[in-house]
Chain A
Amino acid sequence: MTGSAYSGLLGLAAGAVLACAVVTLWRRDLRAVVAVLAVQGTALGITAGVLAAHSRDIGLGVTAALVLAAKGLVIPALLRRVVRRDPGSRESAPLVNVPASLLAAAALIVVAYLASGNITALAPDGPARLAPVGVATVLIGFLVLATRRKAVSAITGLLLVDNGVALVAFLLTAGVPLLVELGASLDVLLVVVVLRVLATTMRARLGPFDLDQLRELHD
C-alpha cells in the first residue's frame, strides 16, 4: 500500500467511526441507531485492518477480524433482537433535543482536539495524529448516556464509549496485546448480553419504559 493511500484510508475509516457517533445523536428511531452501530463497528475493524496491513502485524490482523465479528456483527445482532420486539421503539423525548445535542457534539469534538494536544505532540507523524477522533467518540458516548432515556440508547452510549477507546488504542499503540484485546472484547460482549437480559426483564415487568422511570431507590 502506498503512503498516501494508507493515510487516506486510515483517515476515512477513523472518520467514519466519529461520523457514526454523530449520526446516533441525530436519528431517534432505535432500529436505525442499531444499524449505525453496526457500520461503526465495521469501520473500527477496517481501521485496525488498515493498520495491520501497513505494518504487516499478524496479531493486529487477528484483532481486526475479531473486532469486525464482535462489533460489526454479533453485538448489533443482539441489539436488533431487543429493538425488534418493540416495534414502536423510538427515543421519543430525549432530555436534550436533537439540534441541541448536535451542537453539543460539535463542541465536544473541539474539546477532544484541545484535550489530545499532548498526545498528538508526542507522535505528530504517525496515526496518533488521528487520536482526537477517538476521544471525540468517547465524549459523544457520554453525551448519549447522559441525555437519552431508553434502555437501548444507554447501551448505545456505552458502545460508543467503548468503540472510541478501542479506536484510540489502535491509533496510538497499534492495539493492546492480543490477550488483553481478547479479554476486553469478551467483556464488552458479556456486558451487552447482561444489559439485554436486564432490559428484557424490566420491560416484562414495567411495559415499555424510560430509564427515568427507575426511581425506586433514592435517599
Chain B
Amino acid sequence: MLIYTILAVPLAAGAAAVPGRRWAGWAAAAANGAVLVLGIILAVQVTRGRPAGAAGGILRADALSAFMVIVIGAIAVLASCQSVRYLSAEAGRGACTPRYAALYTALVQAFVCCMLLAVLAASLGVMWVAVEATTIATTFLVGHRGTDGALEASWKYVVICSAGIALAFLGTVLFYFAALHAGGHPAGSLDWTSLMAASRRMNPGVVRLAMGLIVLGYGTKAGLAPMHSWLPDAHSQAPAPVSALMSGVLLTVAFYALLRFKAIADGALGPGYPRVLLVAAGLASLAVAASLLLTQRDYKRMLAYHSIEHMGLIALGAAAGTPLAIAAVLLHILGHGLAKGVLFLASGEILLAEGTSEIAKVPALLSRRPVLGGIFGFGLVALLGLPPFSLFASELNMLRAEVAAGLGWAAAIALACMAVIFAAVMAHGRHLLLGDAPPHGRREATPRAVAVPLAAGLLACAFLGVSAWPLQPLLHAAAQVVAS
C-alpha cells in the first residue's frame, strides 16, 4: 500500500498541472515532500525487518530501495521549489506560455515517478523499462529552453542513452537466459531475488558477457567514461532544476541498477570480474573529469564534469564491494545528490541574474551577491570533499575500503585525479567567488524563496557529515543487500 502511495503522489501532482493553474508548481513541491516523508516511513519499516511487497511481485522495497526513495525525494523537493522560480522567471521574459509551464511540471513529475518506479521494481525488466522511460521524460525537459544548443543536447542525449540502454536490455536478457539454464528458476520471472537465488548455478561464460553489457548499458546512463559524452551537453543545457535532478539523482538511479546486477554477477563469478569492469570505468571517469575540468570555461559544464568525477568515485567504491564500501557509496550518493543539486540550482539562479554561463564573465559573486555566492561557495566546498560535509566522510570511507580490498593502487590513482580536480575547481571557484569585482558593481539581494531551500540542502549535507546516526541502521541494512 505504502509503495503504491509513493508512486501515485508525484504522478497525481503531475496530472494536476493544467495550463493556467498557478499552484501546480507548489503542489508538485508538496508531493515530492510527501515522497521524502513516505520514503522515511518506508525505511523505518524495512529496517525493522518487514520487506514490503506489492502488486503481485511487481513492486518490492528492501532497505536499498527505501534509501534510494529518500534520495530521490530529498532532491526532488529542492528542485521543484526552484522550478516554481524558474517558470515564473521564464514567463516574466515572455519565453514560457502557461501551456509550456504545465507541460514542464507534468514532465518533471513523470520523471520523478519513473525514477521511483525504477528503484521500487521487483523485476529487473520493469526496472529497465522505468530507466528507459526517464530518458523519454527528460528529453523535452533538456530541450525546454528551445535554443539550438538545447535541441542538439537533447538529440545526442536521447540517441546515445537509448542505444546504451538497449545494451543493458540485452544484458538483462542474458542474465535471464543464464538463470533459466541454471535450473530451479521459475520461467517468466525476472525477479531480482529469484535471480540472486539462482546466481551460484549460472553459467559463468554467459554471465561474463551479460555483466559487460550491463556495465556498458547502465554505465552510459550513469555517465561513466567512456560513455559519458552526452552528459556535459545535456546537464548544461537543461533548465537548472532538471539538471539538479539529472545530475543529483538520475545518474545514481542508473548506478543503483548496476549495483543490483553486480550482486548477481558476484554470486555467479566471484567478485573479481565485476571489480575489473568497475575499476576500469571508475578510473577512466576520473581521468576524463580531471583533464576536462582544467580547461573548462562554463560553470554549468564544470558542474557536469564534476558529476562524472563523482560517478567514477562511486564506481571505485562499488568495486571494493565490502559492506563498509557499499555503505560509504550510498552515503556518497545522498551527499553528492544534495550538494550537486544545490549547486546546479544556484547556478541556475546565477545564470538568471547574470545572463551568461561563462566563468570569465561572472567574477566576484561573494561581494556582489553575498547570499547566492555564499551558497555556491559552500556547495563547492562540499563537492570537493572537505569537512564538515558528508562527502568527506564517504570519500574517506570509500578509499579506506578500497585499500582494505586490495585496490590501494586504484585508490592512489583516484587521489591523484582528485588532487588535479581540486586545483582546477579551486581556480575556477576563486574567480567566480572572489575575482576582481567590476567597478560600480552594486550589491544585489537573493530572494528568500531561493536561498532558504538551498541553504537547507547544504545544512542537511553538513549534518550528515557530522553525524550520520539517523541513517546508520538504514545504510547498514542497505549495504547488506548488495555487498559481496
Contacts and interface: CB of A to CB of B under 8 A. Distances in A.
A119 B154 CA distance: 36
Given A118-B206, A180-B128, A187 B155 contact: no
B125 A179 contact: yes
Interface stretch (A32-40, A97-105, A160-168): A160-168
User: Interface range on chain B: under 10, 10 to 19, 20 to 34, or 35 or more?
Assistant: 35 or more
B296 interface: yes
B151 A205 contact: yes
Nearest to B135: A191
Interface string A111-134: 000010111011100001000000
Interface residues of A, number: 48
A184 interface: yes
B203 A118 contact: yes
A168 B205 contact: no
Contact of B139 (A59, A176, A198): A198
A216 B126 contact: no
Contact of B129 (A59, A187, A201): A187
A2 interface: no
A161 B173 CA distance: 14
A173 B205 contact: no
Contacts of B128: 180, 184
Contact of B156 (A157, A180, A183, A214): A214
Specify the main secondary structure of chain A where it touches its partner: helix
B233 interface: yes
A219 B173 contact: no
A191 B155 CA distance: 11
B163 interface: yes
A2 B166 CA distance: 34
Interface in B94-151: 123, 125-126, 128-129, 132-133, 135-136, 139-140, 143, 148-149, 151
B217 to A, nearest CB: 10
A173 B123 contact: no
Contacts of A216: 148-149, 152
Interface of B: 58, 123, 125-126, 128-129, 132-133, 135-136, 139-140, 143, 148-149, 151-156, 158-159, 162-163, 166-167, 169-170, 172-174, 176-178, 180-181, 188-190, 203, 205-206, 208-209, 232-233, 236-237, 292, 295-296, 301
